[in-house]
Chains A and B, each alone.
Chain A
């Protein structure tokens, strides 16, 4: 009995030690990085950002010389984890893997405890566009068909979204404004892309705007049809689908993912990580995983990423104003 108890006790001690050690690694830095780098991922498990983080972690060791340790800090649309990194020590050992929502949208809607200047951009890793989609057996074959249907039935066309103040809903607002449709549509919010898709397939909602990677399997099995993609140029994964821009509606949005560091991180460290990330996204095993996720890698250097972020911030700022989602 005593022996068993001491086993239990020693397991507990080991667990506690492991937690403590992983939290406060041994100090002192010579040439960055000398110890594992914590990559904070501010969303829940199983999402595309989580998978991206794990794919990065799989190739980090060989290109950075140290592993990425992924810390999941979900909550409040990614703003809790993002704020956590904004407050972290800018020593290069706590980095943020984040996306459009927390960095370009949420901070314009509410007090998140950080601003766009709380971070130094390191690298953009990918860009995936939203897609306007309907169930395949619906009569609308083109974006124009759908918009005509919406104009003909003002405030009657039911639309489903996953977040009323999120990227895809803003993109929908931008699209409707571009088409000169003023009436707001009955909008059904769902907790997940799965629920949103089910309601499209069941016919309760008529159309959706969602990031391509979440819909890829359904587009491939021809259960839903993409009417337009909201990117600058056609999306290589589905070259047959026209952009809204070429159809005459200048709406461009994207779900991007990128790595940032807290303000004050030294330029040398930023450079080291940017170079390593550049190699990681070209690593064959990373490319294979990213392609399987339907998120083709892209890459922007720190300076380009900084400019990109600035433009994104302005763009969604305007969209938020026009959509009447006022800043608090």
Chain B
């Protein structure tokens, strides 16, 4: 009842011409930042923060929020076209997106990414409006044991991400885990595997690592066979997803929205994890999981929908609790603070025009993004026609700038080049880089949550069974292990599948 009035009041704020303009500029800058690998939304918001000080508070939030969700649109572009994720949240989009581009279907892939993003984001905003106050409670239920359960579940899903041999992806994941040990131990303050290198105290950077493994490796691998490109130049006519694409993707988009929204709300959950989870889920639900990674449209729709849904969901803990779930949100919190507003339980009462104005502007911003992203597809696709001799140096240049921009450290450039070489060797030996990156991200979360839980419980493992959310997650993890390991069960599943298709 109150909701309608609030939404209306919100639109009165967000539809003011000046705020429309800010939403447009924010989303536009975000898209650009998303397209450029290495330059992330967090760094951009930091740069734009001083600029926003001169704006009225609502406009500043509308503008900076636009940069954040706008970047989720752009991130898929380079993933699909050149196999370099524009954002961390688009890493998994490379798997099928780039294969689609190789088959001459870059247009439908980009189109589906944009449409999925729009649907995921707008549905997520509805969720944000309806249940921001209620869901704040759910986020609060997540303590260390719950995270441990959730991450365990995520690690098990990792197995589904791999294309090739299970053994090789396990080896790759373990390598990622070992790499994640590098750096200062949060619990004792001791250095682990830093060998006295100061730059390693905070661990290896995620950005140089994945730009090396995905970007540099891709360039190296393509240098071997430069002629292949010509093949799909000719077939770039169909720029939009076909009816069959839509049919194939509808489940992925709906599930991606749900997964993204939920993972976005959790503190510590991020658009990146959401995209991995959605891809893994789609592979599980699919009737042809073996075709994932060869260029199926669901493999693009799921992660791109999920990361946008998560990006919108991430506003919930910030708005409702005042707790930023990621760095970009932490910067947005900074922007609020500089304007004298504390996000949190009191904000919706004290500054309703800011909350509702910002939320409704996200609708408008997403609609704008869709409108100007669809026509851009034709332009992006033409980048594929740029000859390799021009494209590769540019990719390398942007990669170096990107690695450098994280903390202005030449060390990170060295790390990136090193992992480019490692990635090339891994690819030659048919190891997947994705499990490595995922383990690198999830490993520290797993370790922290485990150790935190055990300190809280005074060393007792029962904490994982007495807390319901943790118990359910660990139960599901166990179920996946059993389903995979017991051949009898697997055989049984095949029989059922055969019966279904037989009917």
Contacts and interface: CB of A to CB of B under 8 A. Distances in A.
Interface string B147-189: 0000000000000000000000000000000000000101111
Given A205-B456, A217-B322, A164 B189 contact: yes
Contacts, number: 143
Given A195-B267, A217-B344, 14 more contacts: A45-B42, A46-B334, A51-B338, A74-B202, A75-B201, A76-B201, A79-B198, A80-B409, A156-B458, A188-B452, A190-B452, A217-B322, A221-B344, A293-B338
B186 to A, nearest CB: 5
B327 A45 contact: yes
A64 to B, nearest CB: 16
B51 to A, nearest CB: 10
A57 interface: yes
A15 B25 CA distance: 20
Nearest to A193: B323
Contacts of B338: 51, 54-55, 289, 292-293
A205 B407 CA distance: 33
A75 B291 CA distance: 42
Nearest to A285: B53
B368 interface: no
- Kindly list the 5 A-B residue pairs having the minimum CB-CB distance in the complex, ordered from nearest: A76-B201, A46-B330, A217-B342, A45-B46, A292-B340
A231 interface: no
B337 to A, nearest CB: 6
B394 interface: yes
Given A75-B409, A165-B189, A12 B143 contact: no
B140 interface: yes
12 contacts: A45-B46, A46-B334, A74-B202, A74-B407, A165-B189, A194-B323, A198-B143, A202-B143, A204-B143, A216-B342, A218-B322, A218-B344
Contact of B455 (A83, A188, A197, A293): A188
A44 B334 CA distance: 12
Contact of B46 (A50, A57, A187): A50
B390 interface: yes
Interface string A1-34: 1001100100010010001000000000000000
Interface residues of A, number: 61
Contacts of B50: 54, 57-58
Interface string B304-339: 000000000000000000111001001101100111
B386 interface: yes
Interface of B: 42-43, 45-46, 49-50, 53, 140-144, 184, 186-189, 198-199, 201-202, 267-268, 322-324, 327, 330-331, 333-334, 337-340, 342, 344-346, 382, 385-386, 390, 394, 397-398, 401, 407-409, 448, 452, 455-456, 458
Contacts of A77: 184, 201
A190 B449 CA distance: 10
Q: With a 10 A CB-CB cut-off, give which of B198, B382, B390 has the most chain A CB atoms.
A: B198
Contacts of B345: 221, 223
Given A194-B323, A198-B143, A292-B338, A72 B386 contact: no
B199 A46 contact: no
Contact of A199 (B144, B202, B334): B144
Contact of B323 (A197, A205, A216): A197
A143 to B, nearest CB: 23
A204 B457 CA distance: 9
A301 interface: no
B344 A325 contact: no
A32 B187 CA distance: 46
A80 B184 CA distance: 14
A51 B337 contact: yes
Contacts of A204: 143-144, 456
Contacts of B340: 288, 292
Interface in A97-115: 109, 113
Given A76-B201, A199-B143, A289-B338, A1 B385 contact: yes
Given A71-B408, A292-B338, A198 B189 contact: no
Interface in A179-228: 186-192, 194-195, 197-199, 201-202, 204-205, 216-218, 220-221, 223
A222 to B, nearest CB: 10
B339 A292 contact: yes
B401 A45 contact: no
A5 B267 contact: no
Contacts of A300: none
A73 interface: yes
A186 B186 CA distance: 14
A5 B382 CA distance: 11
B216 to A, nearest CB: 18
Contacts of A165: 189
A199 B330 CA distance: 18
Interface string A76-92: 11011001000000000
B246 to A, nearest CB: 31
Nearest to A54: B50
Contact of A5 (B339, B390, B401): B390
A177 to B, nearest CB: 19
Contacts of A194: 267, 323-324
A304 B409 CA distance: 34
Contact of A46 (B142, B327, B456): B327
Contacts of A188: 144, 452, 455-456
A5 B331 CA distance: 34
A147 interface: no
A202 B408 CA distance: 38
A72 B407 contact: yes
B394 A8 contact: yes
B189 A109 contact: yes
A300 B141 CA distance: 44
A25 to B, nearest CB: 16
A164 B188 contact: yes
A189 B186 contact: yes
B144 A113 contact: no
A46 B333 contact: yes
Contacts of B458: 156, 186
Contact of A58 (B43, B53, B143): B53
Nearest to B401: A15
A158 interface: yes
Nearest to A8: B394
A179 to B, nearest CB: 22
